[in-house]
Structure formats: C-alpha cells, structure tokens
Amino acid sequence: MGRIGYSMQCQEVTRVFRPGQDVQYRYLAHGLIVNSQFSLPQLRALSPESAQTPDVTIVFGPVAEPVVSQPGHRRGLIRGQFRYEVREGRHIVIDRLRGFVAKNVADGIMSRVLTVLVYQRGMLPLHASAVATANGVVGICGQSGAGKSTLAAALVAAGGVIVADDILVLGHAGTFEVFHGACGFKLSDASLHHIGRSSVGLDLANEVEGKYFLPVASNGPTTPLLLDRVVLLREGSPEITPASRLEALAEWTNCVRMPELINTAPNAKAVWQRWADLTTAIDLLYVAHGRRMAALSPIVAYLNTPYALTH
C-alpha cells in the first residue's frame, strides 16, 4: 500500500519558521502539506523536521463580509464563528469573530473550508469516511448522521487502518486514488460505546453536534491509496445489496461533499465527471443498518471477507 513518507501522529507538532513569527503548525491533509497559524487537531501533524515547501497556507487576517463564490475564489461565513477566504486552492485567510470558540473554528476549517480548497484544486471531495482493510480501501458515503464514522470506526476496531473521516478526497482524472484526511473519528457516546470506548478524556469535536473526537494512531503510508469499493449508506432494515450504476449516479448529492460549492472548481464539469467515472470503475454497495449498533458486526465481517463483484 505504498511507502511511509512521513512520520504521522494525531497530536500537535509546532514549529517556528522565523524569529518573531507566530507559532505555526504543519499538517498533511488530502495529499497536501499545510502550514497553519491555527491549531487543527483533527489533522495528521507532520514532523517539524519536514522542510518541504507547503502546498497550502492558513493565516489569520481580515475577510470582507460579502459572500463570493466563483472559480478559484470563495469567501463566506461559518456558524457565526469566523469568516474565511480561499483563493486558487492555495491560500486561506481566517477572520475569527467576537466570541469564537477555537474548536468550532478548527472543525469548520476541517469540514468546510478544506472542502472549498480541494474543489479549487480540481479534486472531488466525497462526503465519506474511509478505512484500509485487508481487502482494500473502503469508502463509506452518506448524508450527515447516516453512520459513516460509526461504521468506519467499527472497521478500524476490527483491524482496519483509518484513511479519512467525513471528507474523502479523490485525486485527479485518470486514477481512483484517495488521500489521507482526518486522523480520527467524530463519534457520539452510543457509537463510542459500540466499539468499546468511553467519551471520558475525549474532547468535543465542536459545540454544535455533541460528538467527540477519537484520535486514531496510524503508522501507515502517507502516499495515496487506491479506492477499492464504495459503501452507500441508506435508511432501512439491515441489508447489503449491490448498487447499479444508475442508482449510484443518483446518489451524487448524498455522496459528494457540499456539491453546491462545485462552482468554485476551475472546471466544474470535469469534477462532476469524476463521480460518473467512479460509478463505472468501482464496486458500489448499498448498506442499511437500521441505526442498530448490533447490525454493524455482520456488516464489518462482510466488508472484511474476500469478495468478487462484477459490474
């Protein structure tokens, strides 16, 4: 599954780049090296010895109020906590508002601002978690609250390796490689209990969802991984069924992260085509667990069993 490119850990590693400069953090996010003046504890921290030129910079600064949404430029407001501006898939400015809460800002950057950034770089962000299993990388798509993180955490508890949570970025055309994202899961008390964990000692991911952030150690490769199959979560009694290509195409709005922002991509049609191509090249399964934690065990066992599906 590739070589180890960096030493990764789900904890803060700080580095001062020049005397008198604000402390900065260095992370790996969606295949990009990110230098940030803001702590982003949900990302994989890079060793301070890493001296490569960053792909992305996140800095504090003023951001004007009018919303802008066009190719290569997005400006907006998130949760009344901060304004942001993203340009050309490289530069992010964060303007924290009065009364901001650091964890809310960090979570907003993770879930929304970085989504804008990858669109601007011409990549496709899926609304998905992902785990590397013995049978390849499984992407788990679905709407908010569908159980993506819960199923992914159960797969990790069964021996899998976390790849991403909530946002899974598909690389450029010609490959179905995915990049590493978050270094842990956002989980409710009930989900934590199912995998044998407690919320004691864990921090809330934000003050909105009531979910805790569970860091997950990963010493796996930092190089992109080939996506093997995609699980499409849906409501209903527990079952697993193959999804046809037409069904998968219709799941666009459930499986693509914030599709309303696709207009910020340099070529929105090409980004949409990535999803259409994926539905042809990758096996897709409908999975329903009826929001019953007990149903997750047989689903995990199935996804860990060698298989042979044909389109």
pLDDT tens-digit series, residues 164-189: 999 999 987 778 999 999 999 999 99
Q: CA dist 127 to 14, 158, 190, 230, 251, Å?
A: 29, 23, 22, 11, 11
Q: Interior CA angle at 79 toward 217 and 144, to 5°?
A: 55
Region 142-162 average pLDDT: 91
Per-residue pLDDT tens digits for 13-63? 545 444 445 658 999 999 999 999 999 999 999 876 666 789 999 999 999
7: pLDDT strictly greater than 80 = no
Residue 33's SS3 state is strand
Indicate the pLDDT class of residue 307, thresholds 50, 70 and 90: low
Give the model confidence (pLDDT) of 81-138 as tens digits.
Answer: 999 999 999 999 999 999 999 999 999 999 999 999 999 999 999 999 999 998 899 9
User: How many Å apart are CA 227 and CA 174, to the nearest integer?
Assistant: 13
Report the distance separating Cα 244 and Cα 250, nearest Å: 10
* Interval 238-245 mean pLDDT: 91
| CA-wise closest residue to 250 among 234, 262, 263 | 234
Predicted TM-score (pTM) of the model is 0.90
